[in-house]
Structure 1
Amino acid sequence: MADETQTLSDLSDLGEAAGVVAEAVTEVAEPKRDAQGRSYATGKRKDAVARVWIKPGSGKVTVNGRDQTVYFARPVLRMILDQPFVVVERTGQFDVVCTVKGGGLSGQAGAVRHGISKALLAYEPGLRPVLKRGGFLTRDSRVVERKKYGRAKARRSFQFSKR
């Protein structure tokens, strides 16, 4: 059907043509899983990059070979990691193994959350609307602004002295 070209004579034909296009677009994406049944995704936030694998399990999260409670000691950071599972109502159903490099703990937690969201999408493509609505699939592109010469920081000037 994609090879057909139609000429529209008036606006009433537009609805029929849109129905043909909608049928072609509604194909469901296939889940992407490896031989072990895992889905992989890369998450990024600030300077941190996280490589995330998820597979069905008991809800255990391992970050750089350590448990999440050890690596992310602050409860707020652990809450950030759990957000995608809470939104899609899959808490405790997936084991997460991830490696994360760069940035600080806050950026790393955001990168892991982004990676978990993308891996969930690869594992179960039907979750896309829920994750998209929550803003979990969008990479937060805000990074630290560089320091400029003649300035104390990125934008702050040195203190002015009249004398």
Structure 2
Amino acid sequence: MPKARWFLLLLLTALLLDHHAVRLIMALAVGQRGLGEAWAETFADFSLDRYLFFTLFRFFPYSMLVLAVLRMARSPWRQAGLPVLLGGLAGIAAFLAWGSWEALLPIYTGQHPEITPAFALLFLSVGAVPVGALGALAGYWVLLALNSRSRHRA
């Protein structure tokens, strides 16, 4: 797969994996709603300007990952770019999905939220940076392990 497609995957993840996607899954799984009802409930308060506002914050960890991978492309570690990109992408996406789930869970469980969900969604992006870095590091370690294994077989 050409490099541009990997960055397209990253862009689509950043655009589509938001609190609306998590809330739709929650309405189906936790709220026991049907698809039509879950869709209507999830997007009842949707507005493009609010979506773009939260998207700007969500782009922060992804942009840090892209900067790191682009920097690696001009270094001796350039062969590690794809594993670092995929590991970092997995870490960021998993953290943002988990954090959104935790922030929105009181809507469906009747619990008192510890923090306003909108406030939590803004700060998830900051927390996703170190988790993305750990994911990128894990991707690099997988590459090292695979390279080490292939050298021992030869």
Q: Normalised by the size of structure 1, how large is the TM-score?
A: 0.30
Higher fraction of strand: 1
* Bigger Rg, structure 1 or 2: 1
Higher fraction of helix: 2
Q: Normalised by the size of structure 2, how large is the TM-score?
A: 0.31
